[in-house]
Amino acid sequence: MDVAEIRERLLRDESIRERVSRRAYEIYASRGYQGGSEFEDWLQAEYEILPELIKLEQQRLGMAQAALEPEVRSEETVHLIEPVSNKAKTAKSSAAKSTKKTAAKKAPAQKASNKKNTKSQPA
Choose among 2, 86, 13, 1: nearest CA to 49: 13
What pLDDT was estimated at residue 65? 81
Q: What is the pLDDT of residues 44-96, one digit of tens each?
A: 999 999 999 999 999 998 888 887 776 555 555 555 555 555 555 555 555 55
What's the CA gap between 1 and 113, in Å, rounded? 80
Ordered by start, the domain boundaries in the chain are: 3-117
Sign of CA dihedral 43, 47, 52, 58: positive
DSSP letter string, 90-122: HHHHHHHHHHHHHHHHHHHHHHHHHHHHHHHS-
Contact (Cβ atoms closer than 8 angstroms) between residue 42 and residue 20: yes
Report the pLDDT value the prediction gives residue 67, as an integer from 0 to 100.
Answer: 78
Give the mean pLDDT of the chain: 76
**For 26-40, 51-65, 106-120, which range has the lowest pLDDT when averaged over its residues?**
106-120
In this predicted structure, what is the pLDDT of residue 63? Answer: 87
**Is this prediction's pTM over 0.95?**
no
pLDDT of residue 110: 56
% of the chain exceeding 90 in pLDDT: 46
φ and ψ at residue 98, rounded to 5 degrees: -65, -40
